[in-house]
Chains A and B, each alone.
Chain A
């Protein structure tokens, strides 16, 4: 019996011994998503580099596409210098569309982005579409003939990517574009490989395995220049559609922390972004360097939100 008591004690310790007083990263979604990934990687590297005294504790605060975490940080953790929150384009998309119950982007301080996940449009291996032009032409001819699958709900970043791309390509009737939102990029891929949808849009990192295995064929990457490791995939720009859609990976912190604390976070994030570990993580996960820090990032976020608001208004997602 003794060994069992001991095992039980060990078990109990394991379940309650979350490190106290640690820096905390809030992932505003359940484990497994991009925000969780951001928190765990940044947290791990901060610990490895000795930038924080303890291990960074990751808290998953899921709900409302990041809205629960956002409002909670704004209302309850407003001056907590030990907490940072994972954010991405999805965060600014929702803020732009006023989906956080009235919360606005100026209620937190934006620290920076250290990586970007280029948007990508893929088709099944046996698809008749060879390049972006084929796809756009087919949609112009008959919008009902092409359905897109994506990992976000209608109005989410994956959906906006498609709409922004078609907008730039000169297609006007946004409401005619067929899009189905699934639970994540991999799920959207299965629907496209299975032939249920004709194209899929998502972040490159979600799809790398499927591209390399040959299940799907990328026809355009939505970045400034071609992505290393995928040099044979042309950008949308090269194909005459002037769109860049990077899903940046970064963090924000509460508004009312001191300027010193804010600067300290910016420096820590910069060190993580420049570390070798982060370069490895990016290479392994299909992320591109996308480093914007501090005040520059605040400006970037404002511009980003203004742009999304414009598109959302154009397509009727925002009044």
Chain B
């Protein structure tokens, strides 16, 4: 009962008319920030920190505002993924795979509602998980060492092959490009810069947000210019919004699975929302069968529900290590951590015991933000869609401008903007060659962390590779990784034989 009384205390602090207005504003701003390419949750929250100070907000109000923006951005990222095929932020990347095809088939409204509900389910369950398990979950981080993290990233890479539904070799090529880009920058294990050519801006490597905005948004602009708008992502029509109950029922399992996977990925510092949504998508695809499986990547609603539930659950999960250990699990939680520190609140193992009013009002404000966001993102989704449905000649320059501003706000240097354009060219070429761009991002995103952990493991074990498989967790992850790599090869043969007539109509639909 302790929890309920704590929660009641949290609500009693967090629920005032003033904070509710802040929550609504925060959710609205967050959703827009999330939906705009280049402005992701982390720079959105970072932009708002000085504003919350200049407004003279106290600790609780500032937390309510910024967590609303955080969750709002996690919701908003999907809107441009689905309607424009440009992910609004990095965790929304996986949503483009099925969300955009759904929109092309005239099911944009369904995709938005399903993903909105999935976001709600993921975020709500994760907040409850945070509430109930946070003190225990903090211990999970202690059982993940370099070997275990390496195995976790390996698992992600082993399932990557199953993603490029058309041509696996091209997906592998794209992942290799991403891994190559990940090599750029200061090597943490030796302190020596690699492939930087003396350029200071390359010392920290390539920011994946630069890569995402370049590969998706800028490449889209090039494509649009070439085709004069024909066959472009811009201009998907949105019909009347009806709640597709049947589709929600069908995808409920996917949402729950995505939530579970996403939450775990969020709780592990260093994994984060992108890995959460990726693994949620791949897991959902691997449990699907026959024609259902073949339709992933071509507009399967479950391919929208799973990663959206996954990335929102990961956003909640990432608060666990941030609050209980002071370890930010993602870029955004790093910014929230900064806010807490500035308010003289030091997250760590004692936060729950020493400052319960902060923790519980934060949890209460997350729950409030979630409900507000569900209302904003399902019944009122048209408001946000309107922003994106202006004519292409307005929208495209606008998106380009915001992308440039957003990227500039990352480090405040023009170098990143040039690099973004270079990624745009790369994205354009890859699109011409029909090579998927998502694996490039995953390579950049995961490659660094995977290498760092491998090298750390080798330092700790004096170069003994058996260290990599020396704990039950890492052995389990290795088995999953090997199965994830090998199983599709055999399963494909088994599945291909009998149901040829079954899969054929689905293929034609494309």
Contact = CB atoms under 8 A, between A and B. Distances in A.
Interface stretch (A79-87, A209-217, A267-275, A302-310): A209-217
Interface string B404-425: 0000001111000000000000
A58 B341 CA distance: 15
Nearest to B46: A31
A67 B200 contact: yes
Size range of the chain A interface in the assembly: 35 or more
A255 interface: no
B40 to A, nearest CB: 13
B460 interface: yes
B346 A285 contact: yes
Interface string B268-295: 0110000000000000000000000000
B319 to A, nearest CB: 14
A287 to B, nearest CB: 12
Interface in B5-30: 24-25, 28-29
Contact of A208 (B191, B331, B344, B348): B348
B337 interface: yes
B59 interface: no
Nearest to A188: B327
B204 A63 contact: yes
Given A55-B54, A63-B203, A209-B351, A187 B198 contact: no
A243 interface: no
A11 B46 contact: no
Contacts of B459: 147, 178-180
Size range of the chain B interface in the assembly: 35 or more
A18 B383 contact: no
Contact of B198 (A44, A101, A189): A101
Given A63-B200, A210-B349, A212-B350, A156 B191 contact: yes
Given A147-B459, A181-B189, A71 B341 contact: no
Given A208-B346, A210-B349, A15 B191 contact: no
A40 interface: yes
Nearest to A100: B200
B427 interface: no
Interface stretch (A191-199, A227-235, A288-296): A191-199
Given A7-B25, A209-B349, A213-B348, 12 more contacts: A8-B28, A61-B413, A64-B201, A147-B460, A153-B188, A154-B190, A159-B191, A180-B456, A182-B456, A208-B348, A213-B349, A281-B344
B51 interface: yes
28 contacts: A7-B24, A11-B28, A14-B29, A14-B51, A15-B29, A15-B47, A18-B50, A18-B51, A30-B331, A32-B337, A36-B338, A40-B338, A61-B411, A61-B412, A65-B186, A65-B203, A100-B200, A101-B198, A144-B462, A147-B460, A153-B188, A153-B189, A153-B191, A186-B326, A190-B325, A209-B348, A212-B350, A285-B341
Interface string B327-354: 1100100110111011010111111000
Q: Pick from A44, A61, A179, A187 the residue with the most CB of B within 10 Å.
A: A187
A51 B500 CA distance: 77
A57 interface: yes
A195 B54 CA distance: 44
Interface stretch (B97-105, B140-148, B360-368, B429-437): B140-148
A6 to B, nearest CB: 10
A154 B342 CA distance: 29
Contacts of A71: 200
Given A181-B189, A187-B327, A210 B348 contact: yes
Interface string A38-80: 0011001000000000010111111111011001100000000
Interface string B186-206: 101111000000101101100
B142 A317 contact: no
Contacts of B32: 11
Given A15-B47, A31-B335, A63 B413 contact: yes
A19 interface: yes
Contact of A41 (B269, B342, B347): B342
A50 to B, nearest CB: 15
Given A71-B200, A196-B460, A180 B25 contact: no
Nearest to A149: B456
Nearest to B141: A190
Contacts of A14: 25, 29, 48, 51
Nearest to B185: A64
Given A18-B50, A31-B334, A190-B141, A62 B200 contact: no
B342 A191 contact: no
Interface in A114-133: none
